[in-house]
Amino acid sequence: MRLIAASTLALLAAASIAPARTKLVTLPERNDLVVSLENPNAALLSEERDIPLQAGTNSIDFSWKGVSIDQSSVLLELLTHPGEEKTSTRIIATGYPPDEAALTWQIYSPEARTERIRVSYLLSGISQQPSYEFRVNATETAGDFQQYTLLRNVSGEDLRGATLRLRGLPDLDRSLESGESRRLLALRNKELPFEKLYIARPSWQGFLGESGESISLVYEVRNDAASGLGKFTLPVGKMRLYGDDGDGSSIFLGEDILADTAPQEEGQVTLGTVKDIVMRRYLADQKRLNERFTTNRQLSVFDVRRELRYEVENFKDKPTTLRIHEPMMGDWEVTSLTGGTTRTKIESMNELELEIDLPAQQKGAKEAEKVTINLVVTIRNVFPGEL
């Protein structure tokens, strides 16, 4: 890209004399360059330069070749002498040369002086790809959390001495040449606390009975100040997890995608399923209540009493907690919950969260203690065929 300036002298008294123009000169290098990569589809570049202006009308030519700039996004701002006063520098007109990758601005200056300008535009071909590494300690309570960003520049434009504004990260001062890829350590917390969870996510009608429901092992981190984070959103990216093998080395535990995690929110990654916690889920009973009919005796709406039974066993040598994300439908409420030590939380209109405390398996015992939970839910104003 190049930014070029020319000064047009005033017309002489005779109208037949053409206006004189100074020789076109390439402007000085950028004083400042900010590259914003917060939009995944295009980078927003904002560059500042000092341009020499002569008294009168000056022509500024902004042209590019071999790079993909959205012409409609190009914006020029005057920084040193903006405004409408007689002493201000003013943009008179903007031109679009036909069949050219260029823009022209006519700028009036009341005197010969230097003006700092800012030109911003959308440029394609620059991307960032976040990723994470998490090395958990032997007690599985905290870990060394590292966030990386892989930057790729295939735009055709060299970004020297740039400030890189990345989504969900502090600004970075880096150069990124055209054709270059750089993997940067963007964020690190050597003692990030996390919670180890066991989560079951059954389906509405998928009662597996004796086969048992799938239970996932999940690591949950919180993006807040108490965890040493909380200033920025953690962007979606692949996380690789490593554990302590007890001999001072790391072992690979697995990988998963960490979803966008805003400040004050929890982020979860799943490492697979476990076999030493077993949950059997049954539809113990489901019946209609409070049936209402139309005038011609057609069933129009009714309530449903839905009773679920969970039988849970923990074969671990330590007590633990199982979290169940029970799907819900319609206008529902919990009528009763009995058995074991259980906590409930309404996650949304479509989900009830249950937490069940499970005792450890007794040493030498062949069987784990079975915990039975009975949940009764009333669903109101159900239409025929809705459930």
Mean pLDDT of the chain: 87
Nearest to 311 by CA among 339, 353, 342, 280: 280
Q: Is residue 377 pLDDT above 60, yes or no?
A: yes
pTM, full prediction: 0.74
121-156 pLDDT per residue, tens: 999 999 888 999 999 999 899 999 999 989 999 999
Q: Is 71 helix (H, G, I), strand (E, B) or coil?
A: helix
Nearest to 220 by CA among 250, 236, 205, 199: 199
Under 8 Å between Cβ of 384 and 299: yes
What is the model's pLDDT at position 62? 86
Q: Is residue 15 pLDDT above 50, yes or no?
A: no
For the chain, the domain total comes to 2
What is the model's pLDDT at position 128? 86
What tokens does 44 get?
A: 């927003």
Q: Is residue 16 pLDDT above 60, yes or no?
A: no
- 116 lies in a domain? yes
Please report, for the domain that includes residue 91, its CATH number.
2.60.40
End of a domain among 63, 93, 123? 123
- 130 lies in a domain? no
Q: Is residue 173 pLDDT above 60, yes or no?
A: yes
Q: Is residue 42 pLDDT above 90, yes or no?
A: no
- 247 lies in a domain? no
- 239 lies in a domain? no
- 67 lies in a domain? yes
- 272 lies in a domain? no
Q: Is residue 195 pLDDT above 90, yes or no?
A: yes
What is the model's pLDDT at position 228? 92
What is the model's pLDDT at position 3? 57
- 54 lies in a domain? yes
54-108 pLDDT per residue, tens: 999 998 888 888 888 998 899 999 999 988 788 899 999 999 888 888 888 999 9
What is the model's pLDDT at position 17? 33
What is the model's pLDDT at position 37? 87
Range of the domain at 366: 277-382
Q: What is the mean pLDDT of residues 248-258?
A: 90
Under 8 Å between Cβ of 94 and 107: no
- 250 lies in a domain? no
End of a domain among 123, 149, 171? 123
Q: Above pLDDT 70, what percent of the chain?
A: 93
323-337 pLDDT per residue, tens: 999 999 999 999 999
Contacts of 58 (CB under 8 A, 6+ apart): 5, 6, 7, 8, 106, 107, 108, 109
End of a domain among 84, 106, 123? 123
